Amino acid sequence: MNYREILDLVYIKKNYSEAKRQLKLVNDSRSFNMLGKLNIQEENLEEAAFYFNKAQNIIGCTYCHILNENLTEARILASTVSNSSSIIKWLLVIINVLENTIGEYPTYFQIRNFYEQDLELLFKFKKQNYIERIISNQIYFEYFNREIYKYTGRVLFNNRIDNQAEVFLKKSLDIFYNDPETHYILGELYLKQNRIEEAIKSFKTSNAVNTEYKPAQNKLKDLLN
């Protein structure tokens, strides 16, 4: 089986067990990296770390150290290549926040590109103490990217923490009222809670601030027809 067929198993068929079996037959760094990612997906942290180490993937290994709550090891490893990529610098920011220290500062694009996926990862691995520490530092992140409240609200909503999600989404609207996406997410939250009138109002507002925003238009058609 060629690598493209293995990728189809992963991304199209979602047949992770067969993909892992095939990847173990290939025995190269690309396959080791994919095995590390698949084991993260399946919350098998020990196996993930094993394959990321075989691939010499410093980013993957740093994530594993963070998820294992080995922040010292994570910092040491990331610091060896701290000038190599944006994501490594971002991981050092996260480590600083988790350790309540100051060092690297995030950029707008690092927060936009990595914050949500990493907060979702912490939810996946049930790292409640880390989640609380990151969320308690919203003012710090806001200094670099004022959309942080939307990002946090969306992750909380995705993880069924609706009351807090509503707080953060409304905070985001205090800053960026004309963001159709935030109104839309808030509408989805209200719809989930069967607060139909409030949901419709949010979807209408989303459509009003951007008449080209299709998700709000489609949702209004479903609710009003």
The range of the structural domain enclosing residue 34 comes to: 1-56
Looking at the fold, whether 67 and 139 belong to one and the same domain comes out as yes
* CB contact burial 83-111 (16+ within 10 A = b; e otherwise): eeeebbbbbbbbbbbbeeeeebebeeebb
The residue out of 118, 145, 172 marking a domain boundary is 145
**Residue-level pLDDT at 84:** 75
Looking at the fold, whether 153 and 217 belong to one and the same domain comes out as yes
DSSP reduced 3-state for 211: coil
**Residue-level pLDDT at 82:** 73
CB 152 within 8 A of CB 141: no
Tokens for 105, please give them.
């500062």
Looking at the fold, whether 61 and 32 belong to one and the same domain comes out as no
Task: Kindly report the pTM of this predicted structure.
Answer: 0.92
Tokens for 200, please give them.
């419709």
**For the CA atoms of the chain, what is the radius of gyration?**
20
The residue out of 123, 145, 167 marking a domain boundary is 145
Looking at the fold, whether 177 and 192 belong to one and the same domain comes out as yes
Looking at the fold, whether 73 and 9 belong to one and the same domain comes out as no
Return the CATH number at 170.
1.25.40.10
**Residue-level pLDDT at 69:** 97
C-alpha to C-alpha distance for 64 and 77, rounded to whole angstroms: 11
Q: Which amino acid is at 157?
A: F
Looking at the fold, whether 137 and 70 belong to one and the same domain comes out as yes
Q: Tell me which residue of 11, 34, 29, 12 sits closest to 21, measured CA to CA.
A: 34
Looking at the fold, whether 83 and 109 belong to one and the same domain comes out as yes
DSSP string, 56-115: T-HHHHHHHHHHTT-HHHHHHHHHTTTTS-HHHHHHHHHHHHHHT-------HHHHHHHH
**Residue-level pLDDT at 27:** 86
Contacts of the segment 207-213: beta carbons below 8 A, 24+ positions apart: 207/180, 209/177, 209/178, 209/179, 209/180, 209/183, 210/178, 210/180, 213/180, 213/181, 213/184
Looking at the fold, whether 133 and 156 belong to one and the same domain comes out as no
User: How many domains, the chain?
Assistant: 3
DSSP string, 6-27: HHHHHHTS--HHHHHHHHHHH-
Looking at the fold, whether 155 and 191 belong to one and the same domain comes out as yes
The residue out of 145, 178, 213 marking a domain boundary is 145
**Residue-level pLDDT at 83:** 76
Kindly report which listed range (46-50, 81-85, 213-217) carries the lowest average pLDDT score.
81-85
**Residue-level pLDDT at 103:** 79
Tokens for 20, please give them.
């892992």
